[in-house]
């Protein structure tokens, strides 16, 4: 084995320039595979794998639909609209719409998500990192409003 390794070493030393070129080409090839894989992953992230049962979404400025979807799935609620903004929006629309919202909230130093609908009295608290199944179940329960218009996240279905 040692002898073979020595022979390989001799072979490489004797054809230095060829092996250097092969080495760098292979290095570029490996990096390219990785870069292509990463780019493909990023592109897939911006696809709309989700179908929404809402016509319009209200979020803080600078947040995109993709950010919102990612954050709601990861349980990080920073993209969700604050409660005050939810109430203001309702006032702006002068009760012309049925609105449902998921709002961020801090309770005992822990971020929680508050589900708020204009038909429901009181608040239901959800734990952070809520599972998609749980979210679906919950939103189905709350689906008493007509499909006329829902502001904020009404229901999120993922394929």
Token pair for 59: 């979020």
Least distance CB 143 / other proteins (angstroms) = 17
Is residue 125 a contact point for other proteins (CB under 8 A)? Answer: no
Q: Which residues sit opposite 105 in a β-bridge? A: 112
Token pair for 32: 């390219």
Write the CA distances from 66 to 42, 50, 62, 79, 129, integer angstroms.
11, 10, 11, 11, 18
Q: Which H/E stretch holds residue 157?
A: strand 156-158
For other proteins, the closer of residues 39 and 123 by Cβ is: 39
Q: How far is CA 106 from the centre of its chain?
A: 21
Q: Applying CB under 8 A, which part among 1-9, 101-109, 117-125, 127-135 lies near other proteins?
A: 1-9
Binding mask 15-34 for other proteins (x = CB under 8 A): x--xx-xxxxxxxxxxxxxx
Binding site for other proteins (CB under 8 A): 1, 4-5, 7-8, 11-12, 15, 18-19, 21-36, 38-40, 43-44, 46-48, 52, 54-66, 81, 85, 88-89, 92-93, 96-97, 149, 151
């Amino acid at each position: 084995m040692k002898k073979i390794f020595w022979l390989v070493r001799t072979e490489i030393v004797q054809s230095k320039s060829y092996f250097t070129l092969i080495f760098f080409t292979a290095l570029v090839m490996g990096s390219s595979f990785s870069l292509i894989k990463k780019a493909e992953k990023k592109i897939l992230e911006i696809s709309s794998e989700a179908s929404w049962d809402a016509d319009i979404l209200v979020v803080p400025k600078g947040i995109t639909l993709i950010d919102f979807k990612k954050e709601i799935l990861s349980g990080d609620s920073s993209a969700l609209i604050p409660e005050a903004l939810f109430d203001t929006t309702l006032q702006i629309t002068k009760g012309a719409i049925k609105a449902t919202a998921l709002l961020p909230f801090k309770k005992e130093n822990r971020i929680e998500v508050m589900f708020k609908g204009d038909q429901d009295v009181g608040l239901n608290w959800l734990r952070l990192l809520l599972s998609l199944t749980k979210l679906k179940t919950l939103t189905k329960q709350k689906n008493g409003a007509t499909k006329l218009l829902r502001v904020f996240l009404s229901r999120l279905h993922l394929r």
